[in-house]
Structure 1
Amino acid sequence: MKKVFLGMFALAALAACSPKQDAQQDQVETATETSSESEAEETRMTFPADSVSSDSSMSFHGMRINTEGAVDIAEIPALIASNPGQAIKVSGKIDACCQAKGCWMTMTVGDQEMRVKFQDYGFFVPLNSGGKMATMEGVATLDTTSVDDLVHYAMDGGMSQEEAEAKYTEPRLDLNFLATGVVIEDM
């Protein structure tokens, strides 16, 4: 929003110093940029505030989902193979989460670590989520994770930069999950 106001201020300053035709062109460009920014904001999901169940046994993050109909995370590889890009509801144990903000968590699927991120960076999980059971809804994919991202995630998880850079020297094909809603049990 500040950029829009600064842009409008700059536009007004240019209009005072520029011929009328140049000022009109600047206004059209500014209006187009503002429109594009507004459209991008409109496509982002808006999530409700985090909440806790009445008996304090569960916390809800992102879109409100329930635990009914969730399949075990061990089934994710088969679900990706049969329905790529399809939204699924799965449950399993959280291994760890980002210790800076709670902006991601990891879970084990078979012998592979799966990184869970949250739609539009729109919600987070508590920093003490590791070891708890979670049910989540979203889309699972296989993607290549860059060395920079692997190092960043390791540091978010508490590893030193030196350790992370020594451990991650090549990109890696990873199982990822983009969640729109998460329920954490045993709060």
Structure 2
Amino acid sequence: MKKYFLMMAVAVSFLACKNEAKQETQTIETETETVDVNYKSFGKEIMADDAIAANSMLNHYKDLKVGDSINTKVKLKVNEVCQAKGCWMTADLGDGNEVRVTFKDYGFFMPKNISGEEVIVNGQAFVKEMPVEELRHYAEDAGKTKEEIEAITEPKRTYALVADGVLLVEK
């Protein structure tokens, strides 16, 4: 019994001398700011929620083969718009890639002056092998020089999206 008490005393003294590391939890409260974003709608009415980021869309495109397609809603930054009538636009996907957006059944067009603006596009995304003639047509619509148009001599694998609805962020 003496041994039992002696062992208990030694154990208690070890525990008493042990430096306990205290964990401090610091809660940092940040103010959440609600920002109302207004959109101008083109084509079919769509909602802004559940749109994926452009870089996520790029990953989906990399998994597609020519002829494959997926339905999507994606948030994009416009690079260029058809200067003839706004019948197509190109948008940034990241990593130097872009997507060419056309509009279902030419049912609507986009304003020609929205380069650099943010849009949410809903539609069908696919990978396409674009022939030289079509590449030259788009270059002409974009206002490229005759020399730039004639320099297009090979087909190109492109990312495309046929939109049925677009939301343009209003400023």
TM-score normalised over the length of structure 1: 0.65
Relative to its length, the structure with more helix (as a share) is: 1
Partner of 1:70 in structure 2?
51
**Hey, which bits of structure 1, 4+ residues long, moved more than 6 A?**
none
- Whole-angstrom CA distance in 1 between matches of 2:58 and 2:76: 14
Greater relative CO (CA pairs within 8 A, separation 6+): 2
Partner of 1:95 in structure 2?
79
Q: CA deviation at 1:94?
A: 0.4
TM-score normalised over the length of structure 2: 0.70
Q: CA deviation at 1:56?
A: 9.8
2:44 is equivalent to residue 59 of structure 1: no
- Relative to structure 1, the CA distance from residue 78 to residue 56 in structure 2 (aligned partners, 3 Å threshold; closer, same or farther) is closer
Q: CA deviation at 1:77?
A: 3.5
Partner of 1:120 in structure 2?
105
Computing the radius of gyration from Cα coordinates, the structure with the larger value is: 2
Query: Identity of aligned pairs, percent?
Result: 37
Q: CA deviation at 1:59?
A: 1.5
The answer to whether the 8 A contact 2:70-2:126 is kept is: no
The answer to whether the 8 A contact 2:69-2:127 is kept is: no
Length, aligned pairs only:
131
* Of 17, 40, 60, the match for 1:79: 60
- Whole-angstrom CA distance in 2 between matches of 1:179 and 1:99: 18
* Of 142, 148, 154, the match for 1:170: 154
Structure 1 gap segments, 5+ residues each: 1-54
Q: CA deviation at 1:86?
A: 2.6
